Structure 1
Amino acid sequence: MKVVIAIDSFKGCLTSYEANQAASEGIRVACPDAEIIEVPVSDGGEGYMEAFHAAIGGRLEEVTVRDPLMRPIIAKYLLQGEMAVIEIAQASGLTLLAKEERNPMVATSYGTGQLVADAVRKGAKHIIIGLGGSATSDAGMGMLHALIDAFAKHNKWDDIDAFKDVKFTIASDVKNPLYGEKGAAHVFAPQKGATPEMVLRLDERARKFAEMSAKHFGYDHSLTAGAGAAGGLGYAFLQYLHAESKSGIQLLLETIQFKEMVKDADLIITGEGSADRQTLMGKLPVGILEQSKVPVFLIAGRISDREELLNAGFARVECINPPGISLEEAMKKHVAQQNIQECVADMVKKN
């Protein structure tokens, strides 16, 4: 029996690697002779760089950059030959700030630009940007300023020629535009510490920046799907660096040749912290399902809309947690690992 495990992180609880390991232990309990392949996965946010590193190798480059409040920190990105994978949360992530420090009016994406600059200097010709977990809502202006500081001869964007042979791909499942009711500020800034007044100001700032940029270049990507990702960083990459936008999970699965990996598998196990009908809107487990022609089991810490998930094609949909467990208890790492192990063992025994 060949089983492929590709479970997303249980945010705030387990990494993809840890969740995969727990599921693997469950399979060994139920089927000691099983061939097990563990695939760390991410949809573009937390763990994206590590997922690529596990899949394609390369080296993790450490760079001193600025965090969202312009404090020096060490951030990493992956360099494999002429490909670089940058996870913007490394330099511009919400987790880098204490709760009382969150303020998207001042938080900057400058550090992400420093990572891009370092990758270009070290010969990267294809740079994949994982957009997720940002603390910023600056429409990528901070990132662009960092690139101007690094490469512009006369402090002007048009003077830069460092990117003429560099391809950028942004990896995100966010489809929001840069501004407006469904834009970066209105939808995402409140969780980054924005008050209602700040949201309006951020939205207006992004709109004015887009108008100025469109006038300069003669084209406008502010309403392109994904422009609103990562506080508008998606827009900056689309507008200024001619980036291609791809689904984060699909890009990862294509790179690691997931279809080839699972073509002779008997079973695939995927999962995430919480599964419901929103899972069907392009989230990681659906990306796994779409690439698979064998039964796919879905596990999660919380399950809603089970029938819709089953109707979408998942062979089994199971909650790892026993009834009545408190959220606090369920979020403990060792408890979640044990619950995954027991749930998967039971599923495989009944398969």
Structure 2
Amino acid sequence: MKIVVAIDSMKGCLSSADANLAAADGVRNVYPDADIVQIPVSDGGEGFTDAFHAAIGGALQEVTVRDPMTRLITAKYLLCGHEAVIEIAQASGLTLLSEEERNPMIATSYGTGQLIADAVKKGAKRIVVGLGGSATSDAGIGMLRALIDAFAKHGQFDDITELHDIQFIIASDVKNPLCGIQGAAHIFAPQKGASAEIVERLDARARKFAELSAKHFGYDCSNDEGAGAAGGLGYALLQYMHATCRPGIEVLLEATRFSDMVKDADLVITGEGSADRQTLMGKLPIGVLQQSGAVPVCLIAGRIRDREALLRAGFSDVRCINPEGIPLQEAMRPEVARKHISDTIRELFRSRFINPLQGDGLWLALP
């Protein structure tokens, strides 16, 4: 029996690799000899670089960059041949700031630009940028300034020739535009510390920047899908670097050759911290489901809502790992989460995959 496990990280609790390992332990409790393939995954946020590293190899590069408050920190990205994978949370992430420090009016994406510049200088010709977990809402202006500082001889972005032959891919499941009620400021800035007044100021700032950029270039990407990702970093990559926007999990699974890996699998196990209707809008588990073909896919999560909608979407089973009523603080303890994942998978195999009329034979007639 072959089982493929590809569970997203459970933020603030378990990494993707840890969650996968816990699920694998649950499988082995029932089928010790099962062939279990564990694939670390990410949709562009936390763990994206590490997931790519596990998939394609290469070497992690450490660079001294500016964090969102311009402090010097060490951030990493992946370089494999002429391909680089950058996780913007490494340099511009919300987790780099304390709650008191969160201020998207001054937080800068400059450090992300420094990572891109380093990759370019080291020969990268294809750069995948995972947009997730940002602390910024500067429409990518900080990132562009870092690139100007690194490459422009006369202080203008148009002077940069080093970016002309580089393919940029945005890895993100965000489809929001840059400005407006569904834009970067209104949808994402409040969780980064913005008040209602600051949200309006951020939106106005982004709109002015987009107007000036459109006038300069003769085209406008501010309404393109993904422009509002990472506080508008998506917009800067689309407008200034002609990036292509794709779902992060799609880019990663393509790199792992996931569709080939699951062809002879009996089951795929995926999951995330909280699963609901939003899961169906391009989040990691639905990407796994779409690339699993006819292989049954089980979805687990710390919290489940809209279970029937998830089942109708094609998941063969949807299970909450946590007992009803458990306090969130307790459920978020790593050792507790690991046990709950393992227990859930063990129960899944005992209840659905063992036919009581056939001893230990697999019950292959899955719904």
Q: AA paired with 1:257? A: R
Corresponding residue for residue 114 of structure 2: 114
Corresponding residue for residue 299 of structure 1: 300
- Provide the secondary structure at the position in 2 that maps to 1:150: helix
CA distance in 2, matches of 1:308, 1:179: 31
Corresponding residue for residue 251 of structure 2: 251
- Provide the secondary structure at the position in 2 that maps to 1:234: helix
Q: Which TM-score applies when normalising by structure 1?
A: 0.99
Q: AA paired with 2:175? A: K
CA distance in 2, matches of 1:187, 1:321: 29
Q: AA paired with 1:272? A: E
Give 5+ residue unaligned stretches, structure 2.
354-367
CA distance in 2, matches of 1:291, 1:256: 12
Q: Deviation per CA, 1:125-175, whole angstroms, max 9, x where unpaired?
A: 000000000000000000000000000010111111001111100000100
CA distance in 1, matches of 2:77, 2:291: 27
Percent of residue pairs bearing the same amino acid type: 69
CA distance in 2, matches of 1:238, 1:28: 46
How far apart are 1:68 and its partner, in Å? 0.3
CA distance in 1, matches of 2:306, 2:183: 27
Q: Deviation per CA, 1:93-132, whole angstroms, max 9, x where unpaired?
A: 0000010000000000000000000000000000000000
Corresponding residue for residue 185 of structure 2: 185
CA distance in 2, matches of 1:167, 1:307: 40
CA distance in 2, matches of 1:208, 1:327: 42
Kindly report which structure 2 residues correspond to 1:212-291, keeping only aligned pairs within 5 A, or say none: 212-291=212-291
- Provide the secondary structure at the position in 1 that maps to 2:301: strand
Corresponding residue for residue 365 of structure 2: none
CA distance in 1, matches of 2:196, 2:304: 32
Moved segments of 4+, more than 6 Å: none
Q: AA paired with 2:254? A: E
How far apart are 1:89 and its partner, in Å? 0.3
How far apart are 1:323 and its partner, in Å? 2.1
Corresponding residue for residue 60 of structure 1: 60
Kindly report which structure 2 residues correspond to 1:31-110, keeping only aligned pairs within 5 A, or say none: 31-110=31-110
CA distance in 2, matches of 1:153, 1:257: 41
CA distance in 1, matches of 2:255, 2:62: 23
CA distance in 2, matches of 1:12, 1:186: 25
Corresponding residue for residue 336 of structure 1: 337
CA distance in 2, matches of 1:202, 1:147: 22
Q: AA paired with 1:314? A: F
CA distance in 2, matches of 1:245, 1:277: 22
Corresponding residue for residue 324 of structure 2: 323
CA distance in 2, matches of 1:324, 1:90: 35
Instruction: Give the number of aligned pairs.
Output: 351
Corresponding residue for residue 20 of structure 1: 20
CA distance in 2, matches of 1:286, 1:44: 14
How far apart are 1:76 and its partner, in Å? 0.1
Q: AA paired with 1:135? A: A
Q: Deviation per CA, 1:25-46, whole angstroms, max 9, x where unpaired?
A: 0000010110000000011111
Q: AA paired with 1:49? A: T
CA distance in 1, matches of 2:171, 2:235: 13
Q: AA paired with 2:141? A: M
CA distance in 1, matches of 2:325, 2:61: 45
CA distance in 1, matches of 2:13, 2:216: 46
Corresponding residue for residue 314 of structure 1: 315
Q: Which TM-score applies when normalising by structure 2?
A: 0.95
CA distance in 2, matches of 1:133, 1:185: 14
CA distance in 2, matches of 1:277, 1:215: 39
CA distance in 2, matches of 1:176, 1:311: 26
How far apart are 1:347 and its partner, in Å? 0.5
CA distance in 2, matches of 1:323, 1:182: 34
Give 5+ residue unaligned stretches, structure 1.
none
CA distance in 2, matches of 1:103, 1:140: 15
CA distance in 1, matches of 2:45, 2:138: 18
CA distance in 1, matches of 2:330, 2:30: 25
CA distance in 2, matches of 1:196, 1:309: 34
